[in-house]
Structure 1
């Protein structure tokens, strides 16, 4: 895309024009990652613990950046917290030998024609806006899960990705894990018979004490951090809680506020419901009903909205059942550990990040899967880690293993579960039109208004 073309002009362009322009202007340099001068240039937008925990001041190797930097170079870092930008800048300089561009304004990254890949590790409510603008500006995207805050954002993500031809990998790394791939291969080989149900045990959500209103840290641009969401006071309470040693509306703890996330339903739900949807063969459709059989919240709700702004508000306990047109089911529940139980007419298997069990698994010793079975599940690609899969997809311009479209379908089930949980009633859903049937209030939760200045513009 011509450097003189500014962001406003880019976003006002039609999707078809944008897709043609960016595809025509890409250089071969972006598609190689073996030699130093061909490594893609990356920008990190959001430099919290999921990017790299060291950038939060914690001495830990947790995060995806150490794996991403093996295949590309971080030349820009961006975050609403200047303290984290400073740490991330130092880390990137250690890796590349050069200081990256450091900024709080992600638009400077979007406008830079020299950046090939945008790595999004912001809170959930920022994911879709940044990813859409990045794709429109001709960049490939690695976006941490969950991809979106609402179903409408997923629809927009899918549309923009398809029409621009960009590569977008979602950070649901279980899709590149051999245990989960084996589980899917067993299902597709008929080793469980007809699979009728998947139970996703994703853990319960936390509660908090009353969190007082206080001034945000001087390093944090609280207005920018809130972005598209309604403006509210900053809340913070120091204490022995999690990686931030606090309760707040902000870093890490944003997960437990419906304003910014979906609680466990979209946190671990994004991982396990994705695998469940894949196993049931429902990656191109959705449920027809979502029933909140049992849900507990830590604060009262009125018409689907929490009425106490001082405490975490996402569901703490739940059993939510999603039923598809053919009667197959996905259950999301807070108990029974962590993992996915697939039940079929000829057997059952349980899979999580450390275990794959069940009679069909035991039978592999005497009746192994045919050669190439896992590769077939892995879209015909050579088995590798999730990050290299993304870079290979950027090179050959074919869908990565965790593509936008299938993730949108799986995550829609999680979002519908959250809507049903908030309203306390069963929702009927049309997966073809992606509309709630006969419930205007529930339908209103499919999208959210965005604050002035933080709209998503695609045409």
Structure 2
């Protein structure tokens, strides 16, 4: 990469988890990167609400771009929606004082020698193609979760990441959160005894009315937005619904269509199952059976496919149990709030964003964890926020905290849960061969056919 980082200045400036909040509103070059050549050059591919909600026309600070721009300079933005692309260009100009390259086709930025990092915030069905081709082009990658649409894509990403030596951080930022790191440290210190089960409460998915087929907005290249997915009619219905005030097959609402995502199973599941897999010590393997104890969809399914293409189709209510060879289990369920319950032979803890409870947590007052316990969990790295962890990994060429390989294993459980829900039966999984055992229909969902012209270019 063409940039260098003064680690001492960076760490002095960030002050750990509180750094981002303390520096909010600063306009000068942050974190000691006073020389433009010390700052990585970033291209944003996908400028929707996860990148920055202001680029969708909303007055909100939500998104990852404000933090990323403190650590580097956006030099290019890319989106299939010209309206969002224009807003993103204006935002970057305000941040940097320079107008970024504005393109619809991501290949124009991964082939650009003036780009060091590709920041992917597209819908899920685009993630793997862009990330793989970016790594092959010599770029490092920050990819929002979920990393992939299928298990096959995860295997490809892991292979390419190893072969190219590129750095890829997945946007499962809970791995850099103090509550979750403390939970993992408690487990690894034996404070729960032998941990046998993790229950991930991730919430249910919405339903929709019938959404009529209509012409896409003039600003949107619908063919490009669909990309690797099948070419189908654009659907849209205005109404009092969510971020976009609509039901659709497109912006934000893509999450509720199996063609582009996995519903809540890969939306919040990508976060909580990731931590559950880490806590159970299963980041290098997978379950051997996946049982859809209960799974409901808003439309009828036949042979694993929805028969109605006018409504949302991902699972709305579910209890799906993944069992490992040693008897440990991960449950994914739609109810019981939001968070993860770890159960062990000597206690249990509950953790979510902002909350960590249970007797082993209370016992920390009289029996604290040893010094350096959180750093040990954090791969012996300095405790930072998720984005700085990525930038420092790019500098020292070591895996970031949310690496491709372990996340692939965690996300595979989410994908398998979706497959079991779709076929409506328990499936057996060989975690070494990464294949479904004795169920050709379920195995057929391990990969998806990519539309001609949008294949992954290896």
Shared topology, TM-score over 0.5? Answer: yes
- The residue number in structure 2 matching 1:350 is 350
1:185-334 to structure 2, matched below 5 A, reads 185-334=185-334
The answer to whether the aligner puts 1:27 opposite 2:26 as a matched pair is: no
Q: How far, CA to CA, are the matches of 2:239 and 2:354 in structure 1?
A: 31
1:113 Cα offset (Å)? 1.1
Residue number in structure 2 paired with 1:56:
56
Q: Which sections of structure 2, spanning at least 5 residues, go unmatched? A: 8-31
**Partner Cα separation in structure 2 for residue 383 and residue 450 of structure 1:** 40
Task: State how 1:84-103 maps to structure 2 within 5 Å.
Answer: 84-103=84-103
1:426 alignment counterpart: 426
Structure 2: how far apart are the matches of 1:165 and 1:250? 34
Q: TM-score, normalised by structure 1?
A: 0.93
Question: Could you tell me how far 1:139 is from its partner in structure 2?
Answer: 0.4
Give, in angstroms, the shift of residue 114 of structure 1: 1.2
- 1:34 is displaced (CA, Å) by 2.2
| Superposed structure 1 runs of 4+ greater than 3 Å apart | 26-33
Counterpart in 1 of 2:120?
120
How many positions carry a matched residue from both structures? 433
The answer to whether the 8 Å contact 1:30/1:116 transfers is no
**Do the aligned partners of 1:31 and 1:395 also contact (CA within 8 Å) in 2?**
no
Structure 1 CA distance for aligned equivalents of residues 271 and 128 of structure 2: 18
SS in 2 for 1:449: coil
Give the drift of 1:36: 3.2
- C-alpha distance in 1, partners of 2:158/2:5? 23
Alignment of 1:133-152 (within 5 A): 133-152=133-152
Identify the residue that residue 452 of structure 1 maps to in structure 2: 452
CA distance in structure 2 between the partners assigned to 1:35 and 1:125 by the alignment: 38
| Counterpart for residue 168 of structure 2 | 168
Q: Is 1:36 equivalent to 2:35 in the alignment?
A: yes
Q: Report the TM-score, using the length of structure 2 for normalisation.
A: 0.94
Cα displacement (A) at 1:406: 0.4
- Secondary structure of the corresponding residue to residue 266 of structure 1: helix
1:31/1:430 Cα in 2 relative to 1: closer, same or farther (>3 Å)? farther
